[in-house]
Structure 1
Amino acid sequence: MEIIKSGLALGAEVKGMDLSKDLSSNEVDQINKAWDENLVLVFKNQNLTDPDLIKFSKNFGNLDHPAPNPFGINFSPEHPEINVISNVKKEGKPTGILGDGEATWHSDMSYQDVPPKAGILYSLEVPKDQGDTHFANMIAAYEDMPEDLKNRIEGKILIHDSAHNSAGQLRKGYEEVSDPSKTPGAKHPIVFKDPNTGKKALFIGRRPHAYVIGLELSESEKLLDDIWAHATQKKYTWTQRWKANELLMWKNLFVLHKRDAFDPNARRVMHRTQVTGEIKISA
């Protein structure tokens, strides 16, 4: 196993691994160590079936079933741990979620009281030079935050919207709410302390429909705009430029990620698993 760091704020490639094979406990330990250090890992040139993807993912915890999607469809009935990310339609019907539009900066399912530990994504079909996925390091963003902004967010609690997915689509069973202070979803401190390392990170979920509890709406909007402008600066980011047969895994509590839009006539098919959360977000 060889770990090649990106040289940026996060991200590393792991070489010399065939993820279709069983991993030894030592290999899992090495991956976890590299994952802790780099927050996002990519394994290229893999050849994984859905059972392979599930087996690999279970080395890192229990797996969640996908969240409700806007279509109310189970896209992977044979393997319910798999979430299908796809813009491909079959007989006019979607075969997966998120389509071909941009998915804005977010952490996954932050609207839950105990958000997921990690996302693991495997590429089956990808458009050439399109649909990149970007990641931002929220530990570095907090450590580097100006003191005046740190003071403004100290002790503040944020509502994380549960009604929309990362493509901005309304989830099935929800209604649109125009006032962000009425947004449904979990309430988390903006600054999260990792109980394992003691490091602090921003935990800001997704910008649309968010609200800082106790502030006038205009104050909340201004504060959130300032936080997001700081947290998503290029110096905190790394980009995955996809090719087929690559597996990417990220620490959901410590990074934001987003996806670029791509040509709707191109095909992009990904299979994703999600590692169950183990940590309640606390200051």
Structure 2
Amino acid sequence: MTVIDDRPGVATGFEIAPIAGYIGAEISGVDLAGELDEATATRLRQALLDHKVLFFRDQPLDHAAQIRFSRHFGKVTPAHPYDYNAPEGYPEILEVDSRKYAARGGARKYSYANFWHTDVSALVNPPAVTFLRSELVPDVGGDTTWTNLAAAYANLPDSLKTFVDGLRAEHRFGGRQKRWEAGSDAEQNVTTKPIVTEHPVVRVHPETGERGLFVTPGFTSRILGVSPAQSDRILDLLFEEVTNPAYTVRVRWQNNSIGVWDNRITAHLAPADLDHLDVVRVLYRTTVEGDVPVGVDGEPSRSVVGSAFHGAD
């Protein structure tokens, strides 16, 4: 089903084409490089709440235009809590460039995190929205997959919902296991500047009121208040739910594509099918400042180590 917004008073109509049963839509008929009128920006923000992930094609933006577009959704943050050498003059841009991974002397990689995760959920206020712009992508492979955490929660049995509603979990980089090479920049960062937060297992979305399973293998390390063995079993159960293919959408990148996702109610999986290929993949990420998650009981997340991550006014 394609929805065309041609209502009177809307300065710029655009089409919304859902692309999976629970999550995702492609948007056409809007030029993100130009100045968006407020009516269009409002409709895009609502589309994001409705579909969780939006995908735009044929949008040849530069860094400045990407940052300008991101600001329609909130305060744009620095590139990452750990400074990953943003492009000069654009501290908001995180480069996802396979050539730079190779230059570091490690195994060739194509993403900072090719495991299921919600962006930087180790923070007490993880980013609200993430934007990823493709500049150079391979002809084959390199897809990204997203999952709808609200759908994962909604389809649990009522008895299990009641159980997880009251749980809290610890989030840290790597989750239950180390995911970085010895001596790497990542190891240095998480060792010398750890970021750890206790979040509700079920997060209430601040705008829609939806409840979502706020746990992922990439960051969630343990369930609080239970034994390690019990924690592992609970997390295994929840990880299986949030990564259920029924709740996902997989998108094929093309040059000059832009993906936008609600980081408060989704998780995503970067590609793992490129390491054996001699190809280049270059994308650029921006994020906007998030709120502190709140659980079903109304209690907010609690920072154990690290500070909140703020954007500029």
Shorter-normalised TM-score: what interval? 0.7 to 0.9
Q: Given residue 43 of structure 2, which amino acid in structure 1 is its aligned partner?
A: Q
C-alpha contact (below 8 Å) 1:132/1:260 kept by paired residues: yes
Aligned equivalent of 1:252: 263
How far apart are residue 9 of structure 1 and its match?
0.8
Aligned equivalent of 1:44: 57
Where does 1:17-28 land on structure 2 (aligned, <5 Å)? 17-28=30-41
Q: Give the Cα separation in 2 of the matches to 1:20 and 1:132.
A: 24
Q: Given residue 131 of structure 2, which amino acid in structure 1 is its aligned partner?
A: I
Please say if 1:172 is aligned against 2:188. yes
TM-score, normalization by structure 1:
0.88
Q: Give the Cα separation in 2 of the matches to 1:81 and 1:117.
A: 15
SS in 2 for 1:273: strand
Q: Given residue 290 of structure 2, which amino acid in structure 1 is its aligned partner?
A: G
Please say if 1:119 is aligned against 2:135. no
Aligned equivalent of 1:58: 71
C-alpha contact (below 8 Å) 1:107/1:206 kept by paired residues: no
Residues 79 and 184 (structure 1), Cα distance of their counterparts in 2 relative to 1, 3 Å cut? closer
SS in 2 for 1:103: coil
Q: Given residue 189 of structure 1, which amino acid in structure 2 is its aligned partner?
A: P
Aligned equivalent of 1:222: 233
How far apart are residue 252 of structure 1 and its match?
0.1
Q: Given residue 160 of structure 2, which amino acid in structure 1 is its aligned partner?
A: L
Residues 199 and 85 (structure 1), Cα distance of their counterparts in 2 relative to 1, 3 Å cut? same
Where does 1:67-106 land on structure 2 (aligned, <5 Å)? 67-69=80-82, 73-89=84-100, 93-94=103-104, 99-100=109-110, 103-106=114-117
Gaps of 5+ in 2: 1-13, 181-185, 297-313
The count of corresponding residues between Structure 1 and Structure 2 is: 271
Q: RMSD across aligned C-alpha pairs, in angstroms? A: 2.5
Q: Give the Cα separation in 2 of the matches to 1:154 and 1:73.
A: 36
| Offset from partner CA, 1:145-195 (integer Å, 9 cap, x none) | 12343243231100001367x99333433339xxxxxx9610001001123
Residues 265 and 84 (structure 1), Cα distance of their counterparts in 2 relative to 1, 3 Å cut? same
C-alpha contact (below 8 Å) 1:163/1:171 kept by paired residues: no
| Offset from partner CA, 1:68-104 (integer Å, 9 cap, x none) | 55xx6413122110000111149x735xxx9336610
Q: Give the Cα separation in 2 of the matches to 1:277 and 1:208.
A: 17
2:143 to 132, 138, 142: 132
Aligned equivalent of 2:16: 3
Aligned equivalent of 2:199: 188
C-alpha contact (below 8 Å) 1:108/1:205 kept by paired residues: no
2:42 to 23, 26, 29: 29
Q: Give the Cα separation in 1 of the matches to 2:74 and 2:260.
A: 13
Q: Give the Cα separation in 2 of the matches to 1:75 and 1:45.
A: 24
Please say if 1:147 is aligned against 2:163. no
| Offset from partner CA, 1:19-49 (integer Å, 9 cap, x none) | 1100000110110111111010011011111
C-alpha contact (below 8 Å) 2:146/2:249 kept by paired residues: yes
Please say if 1:161 is aligned against 2:177. no
